[in-house]
Amino acid sequence: MFGKLVRLVGLFVLLQFTVLSSTLFANESTIHIGPGGTSGCATGGCYLHNNEVNGFGSSLDLYMTSGGTPTLDSPIWLIFAVPNGGTLTSNSVTSAVLNDVNNSYLPTPITFNFLGLMGTMGPGQEVYGQLGKKINGSPSFTNYAAWDLAVNNLTVSSFNLYVFTLTTDDFDAKDFINLNLHNIPTGTFAVGWGEVTTVDKHGKITVKQIGTPFTEAGLENHKIPEPGTVAMFGSGLLGAAVLLRRKLK
């Protein structure tokens, strides 16, 4: 009887250890959201407000920031927080391409899947917690609502949380996943989520979760010009300068 009790206690401790191991955070790594891998803002630095949050429009990229990050497990989640009851569909993402640093960033199409509406977020809540993920809560309703008001003059009462999965076994340090988007509502935030599973020589399994802190989240912003618009605007300015110079002569 005593031996059986010892075995039961040992099994309970093992189960508890496994659960705790699965909730470790990978604070050394983040999934940065930018306006596209071909943009100068893809890896950060083009903030919308208070040196935080990056704008995106018809394209978006996920960038793995840490040089020591192991390959993420497949699939990776792309999470959209859509304000005030807004909706997304399976057509909201039209293409997904992996640009692998170990393959000279050559574009490789990857499979993506629309999981649909997976939750909602209101006052006092945060994105990952609402989706059952165990990552620190900086992507919160409080932060999102404040930045939507400051950047888009948009008052938000709640966010709908939509998820796309991105299937790849090669997303790791310094890689990009580039996506083309369609009709994403203004004021929508985007973050990523993934896991890294490792097994040590003793058979201990550790699962680390990696996400996007608020400062590196993406925000759909109608003020962000598309690349073609920027080129046309630049050409227009150049033409105006030439005409002005001729008139002065």
Instruction: Please report whether residue 239 resides in a domain.
Output: no
Beta bridge partners of 196: 208
Buried b (16+ CB within 10 A) or exposed e, 22-38: eeeebeebbbbbbbbbe
Nearest in space to 43 (alpha carbons), one of 121, 111, 99, 114: 99
For residue 220, which phi and psi values (nearest 5 degrees)? -65, 125
What is the domain range of residue 100?
32-234
Instruction: Please report whether residue 17 resides in a domain.
Output: no
Instruction: Please report whether residue 43 resides in a domain.
Output: yes
Number of folded domains that form the chain: 1
Instruction: Please report whether residue 16 resides in a domain.
Output: no
Instruction: Please report whether residue 169 resides in a domain.
Output: yes
List the structure tokens of 48: 């919308």
Instruction: Please report whether residue 12 resides in a domain.
Output: no
**Is the distance from CB of 175 to CB of 64 less than 8 angstroms?**
yes
Instruction: Please report whether residue 174 resides in a domain.
Output: yes
Instruction: Please report whether residue 38 resides in a domain.
Output: yes
Question: For each of the chain's 249 residues, which pLDDT tens digit applies?
Answer: 545 544 544 544 444 433 333 343 344 578 999 999 878 888 877 889 888 999 999 999 999 887 677 899 999 999 999 999 999 999 999 999 999 988 888 899 999 999 999 999 999 999 999 999 988 668 999 999 999 999 999 999 999 999 999 999 999 888 999 999 999 999 999 999 999 998 989 999 999 999 999 999 999 985 554 444 334 434 443 444 444 444 444
Whether the full predicted model's pTM is greater than 0.75, yes or no, is yes
